[in-house]
Amino acid sequence: MSRLAAGLCCWALLCCQAAAPPPQCRETDYHFEYTECDSSGSRWRVAVPNPAVECSGLPDPVKGKECTFSCASGEYLEMKNQVCSKCAEGTYSLGSGIKFDEWDELPAGFSNVATFMDTAIGAAENKADSCDNSSWTPRGNYIESNRDDCTVSLIYAVHLKKSGSVFFEYQYIDNNIFFEFFIQNDQCKEMDSTADKWVKLTDNGEWGSHSVTLKSGTNILYWRTTGILMGSKVVKPVLVKNITIEGVAYTSECFPCKPGTFSDKPGSSNCQVCPRNTYSEKGAKECTKCKEATHYADEGSSQCMERPPCTNKDFFQIHTPCDKEGKTQIMYKWIEPKICREDLRDAMELPPSGERKDCPPCNPGFYNNGSSSCTPCPQGMFSDGTQECQACPAGTEPALGFEYKWWNILPANMKTSCFNVGNSKCDGMNGWEVAGDHIQSGAGGSDNDFLILNLHIPGFKPPTSVTGATGSELGRITFIFETICSADCVLYFMVDVNRKNTNVVESWERSKEKQSYTHIISKNASFTFTWAFQRINEGQDSRQFINDVAKIYSIVVTNAVDGVASSCRACALGSEQFGSSCVPCPAGHYIEKETNQCKECPANTCLSVHQVYGKEACVSCGPGSKSTKDHSTCFSDCLVSYFKDNQSLNYDFSNLSGVGSLMSGPSFTSRGTKFFHFFNISLCGNEGKKMAICTDNITDVTLKDMVAESEDDSNFMGAFVCQSTIIPSDSKGFRTALALQSNSLADAFLGATVETTLENISMKTEMFPPSPRKIPDVHFFYKSSTVTTSCENGRATIVTMRCDPSKPNQGDISVPSSCPAGTCDGCTFYFMWESAEACPLCMEHDYHEIEGACKKGFQEILYVWNEPKQCIKGVSLPEKRISTCETVDFWLKVGAGVGAFTAVLLIALTCYFWKKNQKLEYKYSKLVMTANSKECELPAADSCAIMEGEDNEEEIVYSNKQSLLGKLKSLATKEKEDHFESVQLKSSRSQNI
């Protein structure tokens, strides 16, 4: 019974507790929120219990502020009284906005979505190829995109009561990544405000900004990247920081300052960065100083760090300017800011400075005027750097440019700097240091710093004597360099035109032996050349590879407008040689050696920009090409002639002179991303002007809307043949096709010929199967001045034109089946253009005539093409011709008459010779009978007299005076007589009797 009683008591106690009311709510047990706005634009403030709190007696709902209400910056809405209040010290507020500037972890509300195209090549079968580990990665002050070829979206959704905006800062320097920012509504439809969603590239080391207007309602923000790995280069990720969204109706609290920042005044709209050697924690009102003797802190640090012992990686040497005695001193300096300690065990001390060495000579074009620096030679004078400046002799002019080969001080038109994406350790440092016979990369603040060297040239122009030249090469820059690396270092060479956008021209990874590189300048503009060296591409704050360096030994720039002269070149003299001054030659004129006078280049030659002295400066145009009026370049007029083995063929490719396009592929990256190679071909151009244009980050690959002035944009590439890589719309979730990595494959026309090679270029033309027709192919040869590490002689292109009457108009363009990308080695490209327009012009031997029947005395003569027809245009078929003729009935009658006469004649002749034969037989038998009359007697002689009644046989046999009519008559008479004649035989004996 005791157990039962105890159980009943427990049950009663539980029932009592369950029936007891919850405790009364305190102010800390709940918070206030606003309801959704109704159709009238009003709302209510309601109390909502905090999570895991159960209480009763919540305040009743009250009328809330209007939906468009917001507080000013530095204030927040105090919900209890529904009034705006200033933020306390150590916090900040944007008023009607929110800001994300801390990226130690992914902030609340953000999410990552990684996708990968499901391909048929088995990429999905390999777990290593999946995109499970691909995401945007927080890096403290910024967030970093993926480095692979997965598509990763950073997503944030915000609901706005009124229109607003989104603003963020970013770094986007590698066009191997697609970076897009767009906005969708709650129906997953893209907003009109993000029509231009492709984010522009930024200069190396610089932060760009991007802002887009937001509409009221739900806005889903997407930062999406896709890496396209086309080689072994490491993709430089996209960086995003300081995302700010304006238009939020209210904020009910202030945000604490992030570590390394502080706010010392109420009502702050932002936080300030702690200075160097100070630190702060989250929500700090002020920064705390470090014990500088033993600890240090970088700018914006959240803690102090212990100073390490000094090593040889903490100092560097420099050369002082030359003194009046021609000496320079070697000085050693600590890398600033100095963070190491010399008083610790095993710490290195700074080596003694002051060692004097002989100064190197001045660079060519400069001279030593007795001061500590070198001075450029005055205009019209030159120097090799070791002697005083001299005036150029008569008939010559200074060859302007720059030649830097001695590095005692940094030249005036060069500057150096250090940059790091993640921190500011190396801000203010020199990125490169002069070292006598070379300039080398400096120490930097950490191994992943970009050590930058800039050279600015305001413009380029050819020598005075060829002022009118407009050739494809106005100047060039050549430098000799080497890299010594134990890690994955990279040296970049970049070019900026008119201070618009810096593009990487070439890069070299790891150690490279001493070598030379040349870049061609093709237009007169302001250029900035940049060398950037990075030891490792990892986000670590260390200096382990301080001994990895890049060295540049010499830099030579030709035809610089503000250059100096190290030598003189021949120039043209005027007809009246006042002071033997140089005069500019008209366009297309060279300098005659004998007289130093300007003389025009012969027809179909172009003038070399760098060689204007002597007739050999006029370079002959290739076959099938001609020169412009000013002899500035050679071009094709789309007309080609061919004569061999008594065969003459003329081609006119004018109808193919427009831009032809070819999409080859598809191809796939190692991870399965599908891409195509898109080519534009301008067969003849427009008198030397390149008509084919390729561009990056576009969606209209047909280039219909592109105009010539777009060539100034660094994203556009103009050439005879250019190439872009196209990512199709069905790949990686892209809704439109994209273009990237545009390259020029041909910027100079060499010639067009039926022969397989030209004198100045040799390429295989057997990449395509032979033509099934007897019409020979025509080959167009091009070259590109772009020199890369893999193509030391530049790129070359050959376009084979083949006659195919079955393909009208533009026809078809193809690449070799053995090289689906158009090239097998990356340097020589091949294309086959098959079209009826590639057939030769028609000539007289391409048609023949056909005679028609004669009707009523008239006959038609028609002309038709030989089959199969393998020509176009040219001569036309002659009109049909009508001539007189005799009818068939007339000739039948004539033939019948002639035939009847011939038959009668043959019969008469037959009868005549038959009769003659009978008489001969008679005479023969007569002789035989006479001989046999008396066997032992000789025949007696015939009498010469004619007996009575005997015919004169001789007359019958030999007489020919009887007419043919008479003979016919006699034959007719004989037919009435007996067939046998009575002949009286005669003998000599009877005559004697």
**Mean pLDDT over residues 158-178, rounded?**
84
pLDDT classification of 3: cutoffs 50, 70, 90: very low
The residues that bridge with 652 in the sheet, in sequence order, are 639
Q: What is the pLDDT of residue 922?
A: 73
- What percent of the chain is predicted at pLDDT more than 90? 17
Average pLDDT over all residues of the chain: 78
The tokens describing 270, both together, are 């932002």
Q: What is the pLDDT, as a whole number, of residue 9? A: 46
pLDDT tens-digit readout, 938-958? 445 444 444 444 444 444 444
Token duo for residue 60: 């009743």
Residue 205, pLDDT above cutoff 50: yes
Mean pLDDT of 426-432: 76
The residue among 72, 71, 46 whose CA lies nearest residue 60 is 46
Residues 605, 719: contact at Cβ < 8 Å?
A: no
CA separation (Å) from 44 to 35, 108, 331?
A: 5, 26, 73
Q: pLDDT band for 716, please (50, 70, 90 cuts).
A: low
Which are the contacts of 906, defined by CB distance < 8 A and separation ≥ 6?
Answer: none
Q: Would you state the structure tokens that stand for residue 237, as one six-digit string?
A: 């990720």
Of 234, 220, 337, 352, which Cα lies nearest the Cα of 290? 337
pLDDT for residue 344 is more than 70: yes
Domains of the chain (ranges, CATH numbers): 30-86 (no CATH), 100-117+132-248 (2.60.120.200), 310-359 (no CATH), 387-568 (2.60.120.200), 648-697+716-839 (2.70.130.10), 847-884 (no CATH)
**Residue type at 225 in one-letter notation:** T
Pairwise CA distance, residues 359 & 329, whole Å:
9
Q: How far is CA 693 from CA 288, 696, 709, 711, 739, in A?
A: 58, 10, 11, 8, 12
Cis peptide before 462 (omega within 30 of 0): no
The answer to whether 802 and 832 have CB atoms below 8 angstroms apart is yes
Q: Which residues contact 532 (CB under 8 A, 6 or more apart)?
A: 204, 205, 450, 451, 452, 453, 491, 492, 494
* pLDDT for the residue 79: 85
Q: Give the Cβ contact number of residue 763 at 10 Å.
A: 17
* Sheet of strand 812-814, all strands in order from the earlier edge strand to the far edge: 748-753, 778-783, 796-803, 828-835, 812-814
Q: Report the distance separating Cα 96 and Cα 413, nearest Å.
A: 47
> How many residues in the chain?
993
Question: Helix, strand, or coil here: 242?
Answer: strand
Per-residue model confidence as pLDDT tens digits over 589-622? 888 877 778 888 888 888 876 667 788 888 888 8
- Name the residue among 480, 504, 487 with its Cα closest to residue 549: 487
* pLDDT category of residue 731 using cuts at 50, 70 and 90: low
> Given pLDDT bands bounded at 50, 70 and 90, which one contains residue 651?
very high
- Which residues fall within 8 angstroms of residue 839, CB to CB, at 6 or more apart? 651, 775, 803, 804, 805, 870, 871, 872
pLDDT tens per residue, range 899-945? 888 888 888 888 888 877 777 777 777 777 766 654 444 445 444 44
Residue 454 has pLDDT above 80, yes or no: yes
User: Which tokens is 561 given?
Assistant: 């407008």
Asked if the model's pLDDT at residue 120 lies above 60, the reply is no
% of the chain at pLDDT higher than 70: 77
Q: Average pLDDT for residues 693-706, to the nearest whole number?
A: 52
Helix (H, G, I), strand (E, B) or coil at 185: coil
Query: Residues 460, 445: contact at Cβ < 8 Å?
Result: no
Task: Decide the pairing of beta strands 796-803 and 828-835.
Answer: parallel
**Distance from chain centroid for Cα 374:** 43
Whole-number Å distance between alpha carbons of 653 and 683: 9
Would you call 803 helix, strand, or coil by DSSP? strand
pLDDT tens figures, 790-818: 677 778 899 999 999 889 888 999 998 88
- Give the burial class of 889: count Cβ atoms within 10 A of its Cβ; 0-12 exposed, 13-18 middle, 19 or more buried: exposed
Say how far apart CA 961 and CA 964 lie, in whole Å: 9
Quote the pLDDT of residue 694: 78
The whole-angstrom separation of Cα 365 and Cα 413 is: 14
Distance between CA atoms of residues 602 and 588, nearest Å = 9
Q: What is the mean pLDDT of residues 887-891?
A: 59
Contact present, 228 and 183 (Cβ < 8 Å) = no
Ranking 116-120, 375-379, 707-711, 952-956 by mean pLDDT, the lowest is 707-711
Model pLDDT for residues 369-419, shown as the tens digit of each residue: 766 678 899 888 899 888 889 988 877 888 889 999 988 888 989 999 888
Q: What is the pLDDT of residue 497?
A: 83
Least confident of 117-121, 433-437, 494-498: 117-121
- Using one digit for the tens of pLDDT, what is the confidence trace for 510-553? 899 999 998 888 778 889 999 999 888 776 666 778 889 999 99
* Beta carbons of 569 and 399 less than 8 angstroms apart: yes
Would residue 205 be called left, alpha or beta, if left means φ above 0 and alpha means ψ between -120 and 50 degrees? left
CB 817 within 8 A of CB 849: no
Query: Residues 20-63: pLDDT tens digits?
Result: 678 888 888 888 888 877 777 788 888 888 888 888 888 888 88
Residue 457: band (very low, low, confident or very high) from pLDDT cuts 50, 70, 90: very high
Beta bridge partners of 797: 782, 829
Which pLDDT score, from 0 to 100, does residue 81 have?
86
Angle of the 964-974 helix axis to the 888-932 helix axis, nearest 10? 60
